[in-house]
Structure 1
Amino acid sequence: MICCSLKAGFSLHFPKAIHKIWPVNILSKGNGVMFLETTDRMNPPSFVLCAIESAARVYPDRPIVFFMKGLKEINSEDDQKKAKGHFPTLSSFNNIFFFPLRMEEIFRDTPLLPWYEKVNPEREEHWTHVSSDGCRLALNWKYGGIYMDTDIISIRRITGGNFLAVESSMYVSNGVFGLLPQHNFTWWSMENFVEKYNGAIWAHNGPHLFTRVLKQMCAIQELITVEDFMCKDITLLNPQRFYPIPYESWELYYEVWEDLPTFNDSYALHLWNYMNVDHMTVIPGSNMLMEHLYQQFCPSTYGALQRNESTVL
């Protein structure tokens, strides 16, 4: 599954006659890490850049792919260089790639295409999130690998194979998961997405969907939250792996700690940005927990903030 050594980092070796760079080429080994932007926004905040940078550092031997709805055509190495040029803190990483997010193309050959062709985004209260819920399923079905929300900071490698993240005793998260290409769970989730679709209920097509499908697949009544456990060939990772700070305590990331947490049992940290309605951000010199996380896991992004440089050109 690993394309090259950790020391060498990620690299592509195409014949000289091949000049096209498409997702199917970059993600062909099924070990990529994928992020999504389902709005037209091309100036993502620093936590998004930190999430991508941290993943690139933790997984130097894997492609880190950012699908952006507002991005134009990306076909060649020159296109990639131009796209990276807009994000100075990411431009030095040879394992980061940018591609446009085209939903009709992504949903093609999946159960989600008929739904997408009928739905009216203008009438959907949570379209940004609902469309993201669908896109991550279709992309994971086609390419496999790890999906992460853009407010997740990677701190160490996720070990093992297929995994889902338990958020609480009631829900499995869809904010981070990793499955092989064309895994049954992904297909069943897409089918359930369409059959039970309700765009008016927050999380109905996300964490609630994953929880419904998982419980049907393994006849689970209540989720285990103190240790990892198995459901067929999928490892269910306990909340400490990604959610050591639960959503109701999200502001702790923006506070000063007397003793910094080690997060020794965590692979990554979900920042719960949808709770951050006041748009709190990292302030260099503030000594808040988020500043320490930036310094350690996305130092290029932090350095730009510290020097008051633009992170997007």
Structure 2
Amino acid sequence: MLTSIKIASFLLLLTTLGFFYGIIPRENILAFMSLKTLNMSTTPTVNTTVNSPFDVLKAGNSIFFVESTDRMKLPALVLCAVESAARVYKDRPVAFFLKGLSDTNTEELVKKHFPTLTPQSNIYFFPLKFEELFNNTPLHSWFSKINTQQQSFWTHVSSDGCRLVLVWKYGGVYMDTDVISIRIIPKQDFLAAESATYSSNGVFGFTRGHDFTQKCMEDFVQNYNSKIWGQQGPLLLTRVAKRLYSVPHFSEKEDIMCGNVTVFNPDRFYPVPCGEWRKYYQVWDKLPTFDNSYALHLWNSMNREKISLVPGSNVLADHLFKEYCPSTYEAILRKEITYH
């Protein structure tokens, strides 16, 4: 009797399953069955040059990074800077323009070079083409006449020009590749004071076609001198800001409004001054909170000793990498090469 009841129950179960199989669309059943497999097998999307820069950047709220050399083996600090920006600005495109990237680069090649960046779906990689970028801008006449081989500090000068054009043409925020983002910058049109008297060009942001970036490009051409370090960089932004806005010296920890432009006080991006850059690679008795900062400039240009991060060393940079660019940090910790 008990056996008969079990058999009857089993047949009823089969009949019920068959009924639901018949009324539920087969594609829905397959979708449900394959969902776990799909999630397990899907690889991160890498954004290469399928879309044009305008298609990606037209909203005017992008974060820009520039690599004006041909190198594709990027240091961990560069990867950390880009990763941290992508994590902080999750809903905004992070555009990385690289001179060493060509139109023929495939998605797999980008994955090979930047394995720690590919999980971030809002990072876009574009080839940096000077002629194309400078075309139809105030810098085109300058670029078409100069001999790049005869320019002092050409790598830096070309980068100075590119960042101005990108922000002017598309709108958004430019950051150097040694700047670690820690929280969202609350203003659109802003300059970052590096000290009491100088504005930085390592971080700045403006809406598309802003008068300040227009004036900067005009000054770039009129007062061009590649033999003076920073002439087209921080010195340029400083003199244009003084001419347009009469920016006073910073004496307090407050930001300054100059018309519709915010000039952030040095603590916002430079809480560790240039002359104290080694502090990023030292152990602190008490870790700073950087509560008043939006990003941190690690002064890589000053690091002529090529001091690099040692994971687990407990230095300040070790903590910053661990918190703000964990993918890059984990790759270093596992002693994996962060580029190939």
Query: TM-score of the superposition, structure 2-length normalised?
Result: 0.83
Give 2:210's match in structure 1, choosing from 183, 197, 212: 183
1:59 aligned residue: 89
What is the rounded CA distance, in whole Å, between the counterparts of 2:67 and 2:174 in structure 1? 12
* Paired amino acid for 2:327: S
Report how many aligned residue pairs link the two structures: 293
The runs of 4+ residues in structure 1 deviating greater than 4 Å are none
Measure, in 1, the Cα distance between the counterparts of 2:328 and 2:84: 10
Which of 94, 105, 125 matches 2:121? 94
In 2: Cα distance, 1:175 partner to 1:80 partner: 29
Pairwise CA distance, 1:49: 0.1
Relative distance call for 1:154 and 1:131 in structure 2 (3 A) is: same
- Per the TM alignment, residue 81 of structure 1 is displaced from its structure 2 partner at its CA by 5.3
**Alpha-carbon distance in structure 2 between the residues aligned to 1:138 and 1:225:** 32
Q: Report which of the two has the higher share of helix.
A: 2
Where do 5+ consecutive residues of structure 1 fail to align? 1-11, 13-18
Report what 1:3 is aligned to: none
Where 1:43 maps in the other structure, the secondary structure is coil
Give the distance between the partners of 1:233 and 1:224, measured in 2 at CA: 21
Which residue of 141, 147, 156 corresponds with 2:174?
147
Kindly indicate whether the alpha-carbon contact (under 8 Å) linking 2:180 and 2:295 is maintained by their aligned counterparts in 1. Answer: yes
SS at match of 1:269: strand
Q: Which residue of 1 aligns with 2:325?
A: 298
Match of 1:34 among 64, 69, 85: 64
1:195, distance to aligned residue in structure 2 (A): 0.3
Number of the residue aligned with 1:7: none
Q: Secondary structure at the match of 1:174?
A: strand
Output the CA distance in 2 between the equivalents of 1:129 and 1:108. Answer: 19
**1:26 maps to amino acid:** V
**Contact 1:74 1:100 (C-alpha < 8 Å) held by counterparts:** no
Query: Which residue of the partner structure matches residue 203 of structure 1?
Result: 230
1:165–1:238: 8 Å Cα contact kept in structure 2? yes
Q: Confirm whether residue 162 of structure 1 aligns to residue 162 of structure 2.
A: no
TM-score w.r.t. the length of structure 1 is: 0.90
* Matched residue, 1:15: none
Q: How many angstroms does 1:160 deviate by?
A: 2.3
Distance in 1 between residues matched to 2:193 and 2:142, nearest whole Å? 28
Matches of 1:309 and 1:95 in 2, distance apart? Answer: 24
**Larger CA deviation: 183-192 vs 110-119:** 110-119
User: Offset at 1:124?
Assistant: 1.6
**Any stretches of 5+ residues in structure 2 without a counterpart?**
1-44
**Aligned residue number for residue 246 of structure 1:** 273
Q: Is the 8 A contact 1:35 1:66 kept in 2?
A: yes
Give the Cα separation in 2 of the matches to 1:74 and 1:164.
36
After superposing the two structures, state which structure 1 stretch, 215-224 or 296-305, moved more.
215-224
Measure the CA separation in 2 of the matches of 1:174 and 1:84: 30
Residue type at the aligned position of 1:60: K
| CA deviation after TM superposition for structure 1 residue 225, in Å | 5.3
Distance 1:166 1:133, change over 3 A: same
Structure possessing the higher radius of gyration over alpha carbons:
2
Say whether the 8 Å CA contact 2:172–2:188 is kept in structure 1: no
Deviations 1:91-140 (A, max 9, x none): 11110110000001111111111111112222222111010000101111
- Deviation string, structure 1 residues 260-305 (Cα, Å, up to 9, x no partner): 1100000000000000011111101211111010000001000000
Which letter maps to 1:49? L
Contact 2:196 2:266 in 1 (8 A): no
Q: Residues 307 and 179 from structure 1, CA distance in 2 versus in 1: closer, same or farther, beyond 3 angstroms?
A: same
The aligned residue for residue 4 of structure 1 is none
Name the aligned partner's letter for residue 113 of structure 2. H
Mean alpha-carbon deviation: is it higher for 293-302 or for 156-165? 156-165
Alignment of 1:9-20 (within 5 A): 20=50
Write the distance in 2 (CA, Å) between the matches of 1:31 and 1:224.
Answer: 31
Checking the alignment, whether the CA contact within 8 Å between 1:74 and 1:98 is kept in structure 2 is: no
Superposition map of 1:42-121 within 5 A: 42-73=72-103, 79-80=106-107, 82-121=109-148
Q: CA RMSD in A?
A: 1.6
Partner secondary structure for residue 205 of structure 2: strand
Q: For residue 55 of structure 1, give the secondary structure of its aligned residue in structure 2.
A: helix
| Correspondence for 1:5 | none
1:85–1:91 contact (8 Å) kept in structure 2: no
Counterpart secondary structure, 1:287: coil
Distance in structure 2 (CA, Å) of the matches to 1:194 and 1:249: 33
Q: Structure 2: how far apart are the matches of 1:244 and 1:86?
A: 32
Paired position in structure 2 for 1:8: none
Q: What's 1:9 paired with?
A: none
Counterpart CA distance in 1 for 2:74 and 2:204 is 22
